[in-house]
Structure 1
C-alpha cells in the first residue's frame, strides 16, 4: 500500500512528550497526536506540560485533570491509537454497592481512565509503558494487578502482547528496564493474523515486538506459563495469582507467557553522550566534600538503625564503583539524578568528577538536546528520571507502520465497532 491515512493519536500522562517524539521520529507523516494530556496534581508549576506545549505545535495540549474530561470529548477526537506511561498502583477491584453497575476500580488509579478512554474511542491500537514490577505486583498476590489489566482489555475486545525491554540491550544509551504493553482490537487485520500462529511463533517471531526487538528462539530455563483468566474480574482481584514472565500474549482471556533472552545489540557508552568538557558549567563539578560524600554513599556499609517501634537492626548495603564506567551505557536514571545520593551518575573526565548535565540526561533518553530547557535544572533532572527511552518508541512506531502497510485495508471503521459491542 503506497498511501496510508494518518493515525490520530491520544497521548496520555505525556510528561515531556517521549511517546510523541518517538512516534514522530518513526514517521511524522503517519502519526498525528491530536490530544496530549499532562497534568501534575497539587502543583502550581506545570513544568512538564509547559515543556510539552513549547516543543509541539499541532494538536490539543491538555493541562487538566484527566478524570474531568468527558467521554464525548474523547469520541470527537476520532483516535486510532492511545499511548501513555501510567503509574504503577494497586489495581484491586470490587463490585459496586448496588451490584448492578459492574466493577469499581480503586479510586485514583489512572489505569481506569485508560479503560474509559479506550471504551469511548475504540482505538485500533493501545501502547502503554510501566515499570516491570507491574508483572509481579502486589507482592502478596503475584500477578494480580497485571491479570486485572489483561482481563480489562479482554472485556473491551482486545488482544494483548507484552514485553519487558532493557533499552541498553537494544543499542540505547541507558540500562532502563520497562514493560511495554501493546493491545490491538480483535477485529483488525493484525489481530486476525495473530490467530493463525502458535503462541511461541507470536512471541519469538510474528507478534508485535519480536520483529523490532528480536529474541533468541529458546525459552530460558523452561519458564513457561499458560492459563485462562476467570471471567469475573472481581474473582481475579480476590484470588488470582501467577508469575508472569517477561514476554507474553493474551487472546480471549487465554494467556501464554515465557522468559525470553534478547538478541543483544551494542549499546551506546556513556562516553558517547558526554558534552565537550570546555562547554560544561563549573556548577556540575563535585566539590572535595561531595567527592568524599559519594565515596561513603557508594561504599559497602553496615549501619545500626532503630525502627519506629524502637527495636534496633543492622542496615547493610553493598558497594559500587565511585564513578560510572564511561565504556558502558548509563544506569537507570531516577528522578533524583543530579543530587548527592547513591543513584546519581558521577563521571570522571580529565581527573575531575561531576554530575551528568541536563543535556546529557536528555541524551540518555534519546531526546533532542535542550528539550527541557524551559525549566530549572532540578526539574530537568526530575523529568528525565520519569521519561522513557525515545529510541524504543521509535522502533515500535516503525512496527506499527509495518502493520498498517499490511493491514490497513482490512480494518473496519470504528462506528461499526461501536455498534457491534455488547
Structure 2
C-alpha cells in the first residue's frame, strides 16, 4: 500500500511523527505547533531542527484557515485538556462553535470544512478525559464522540498504560482512533459485534491485547444535538459511563472494562540510565538532601493559609530513591531543575543520589537520545517537553496495527 499522508496537530517535539514514521507507512506532510504561554517557541524550534521547517506551521491553529492545511489521509494530535462545553450554535452551515481558545473545536472545524476528509484519526489525551468535568462526569468525551459521529466517523478508544506492555514508563493516556465512513474499517466495525471488536477484532486490541471483564460493560446512545448533550449529559453527578475501552458508531456507544494481556519483555528504569556519563549537576548535595527527604516523606502537620486559617495536612511517603527494577513513574513537566521536589525522579548510583538527565527522560518516552538537545534550550525546558510528550512506542504499535488492518480489509 502507499504511504498514508499525515497532518500532525499540537505537535510538540514530534512524538506522533516519530512513532508513525518508524513504520515507514506514514509520511507527515503538514504540522502545527504553537505554545501560547511563551514568547520563544522552543518546542517548535526543536521540531524544525529535527524534521525541517518545510510545511511546519508555528501559529495558533485557531488562526490557520482550513484551506491552508493540505488534504491528508490521517489527522493526529495530543490536544490540550480544557473545558470542551459547547458555547453556542449558528444557524448557518458552520453549525457548531465551541468556546474560543478550546482547541478541540479547531480539530472539529478542520474535519467539518475539509471536503476530502481524512480517512483516519489518532488522538491522545490524559485518561481523566473520560471522567471530566466533575460536574457532569463523561460529558467532554461524550461531546467528542458525538461530534465525530455526526461528521461520519466511528471511534474506538482505550486507556493504555505504556508500562503494561513492556515500555519503560508508567504513563496512562487515552488513545482514540477514528475511521471515516468511506473506509473499509468503518464498514467492518459497523457489521461487527461491538464487544468482539473491542476484545479481538479492533486495531487497538491487535496492537495491545486485552482481557475483558464482560460483566462490567454498558451500551447507550448519545442523543440530541451537541448543545443539548452539553447541557444534559450526566447532570446527576454520577460516575462516568465511559469505561477504559469502547467504540462509538452512529452515536451508539459500547464500553467495556478491560485489563492488559502481555507476557513479553519489560524495560525498567535501570535499563535506560546513563552509566557514569550523567552530568555532575544532577547530583543532590548533602546540604539539599534533608529538603528532598522531607518532601518525599510522609507528613502529618499543621499548616496555615495566607489568610491565617490553620488546618491539618497529611500525605503518605514516596519511594525515595525511585525503584530502578520496575518501569518509572510518570514524567511530569516540572521534572527539570535543581530545586528539591516531591515528584521529580531520583535514582541511587555509585556516585550518590541524582536526578534524571534529559537523555534519560527522552528514553523513558522512547525518543532518540538528544532529540530535544538544541542551542538555547535548557535542560529544564527539555524535561518540560518530555513531561508533555507521549510514549513513542505506543504510537508505533498503533500505527503498525492500523496499517495491517487496512491491508487485510482492502486486499
The TM-score range, normalised by the shorter chain, is: over 0.9
Q: Which runs of 5+ in 2 are unaligned?
A: 235-239
- What is the deviation of 1:208? 1.8
Q: CA-to-partner distance for each residue in 1:267-316, whole Å, 9 max, x for gaps? A: 31111000121x11110111112221111011110232334665322121
* Contact 2:213/2:256 (<8 A) preserved: no
- Partner residue, 2:2: 5
Confirm whether residue 367 of structure 1 aligns to residue 374 of structure 2.
no
Match of 1:230 among 223, 227, 234: 223
Q: Give the secondary-structure state (helix, strand or coil) at the position aligned to 1:320.
A: coil
- Partner residue, 1:342: 342
* Contact 1:154/1:252 (<8 A) preserved: yes
Q: CA-to-partner distance for each residue in 1:354-391, whole Å, 9 max, x for gaps? A: 00100000000000000000121010000011000000
* Contact 1:34/1:58 (<8 A) preserved: no
> Structure 2 length as normaliser, TM-score?
0.93
Q: How does 1:313-328 map to 2 (within 5 A)?
A: 313-328=311-326
- What is the deviation of 1:58? 7.8
- Partner residue, 2:127: 132
Match of 2:195 among 184, 192, 200: 200
Match of 1:215 among 210, 216, 222: 210
* Contact 1:338/1:345 (<8 A) preserved: no
Q: How does 1:136-215 map to 2 (within 5 A)?
A: 136-215=131-210
Against the structure 1 CA distance between its residues 7 and 97, is the aligned structure 2 distance closer, same or farther, given a 3 Å change threshold?
closer
Q: Give the secondary-structure state (helix, strand or coil) at the position aligned to 1:226.
A: strand
Matches of 1:359 and 1:94 in 2, distance apart? 43
- Partner residue, 1:275: 274
* Contact 1:36/1:59 (<8 A) preserved: no
Match of 2:108 among 110, 115, 132: 115
- Partner residue, 1:49: 44
Against the structure 1 CA distance between its residues 59 and 97, is the aligned structure 2 distance closer, same or farther, given a 3 Å change threshold?
closer
- What is the deviation of 1:223? 2.0
Matches of 2:138 and 2:212 in 1, distance apart? 25
Against the structure 1 CA distance between its residues 193 and 111, is the aligned structure 2 distance closer, same or farther, given a 3 Å change threshold?
same
> Structure 1 length as normaliser, TM-score?
0.91
Q: Give the secondary-structure state (helix, strand or coil) at the position aligned to 1:115.
A: helix
Matches of 2:93 and 2:8 in 1, distance apart? 32
Matches of 1:40 and 1:58 in 2, distance apart? 17
- Partner residue, 1:357: 357
- Partner residue, 1:413: none
Matches of 1:93 and 1:306 in 2, distance apart? 39
Against the structure 1 CA distance between its residues 171 and 314, is the aligned structure 2 distance closer, same or farther, given a 3 Å change threshold?
same
Match of 1:40 among 35, 38, 62: 35
Match of 2:23 among 2, 23, 26: 26
Against the structure 1 CA distance between its residues 244 and 371, is the aligned structure 2 distance closer, same or farther, given a 3 Å change threshold?
same
- What is the deviation of 1:235? 1.3
Matches of 2:409 and 2:139 in 1, distance apart? 34
Once the two structures are overlaid, the 10-residue window that deviates more, 280-289 or 380-389, is 280-289
Aligned residues: 399
RMSD of the alignment, in Å? 1.7
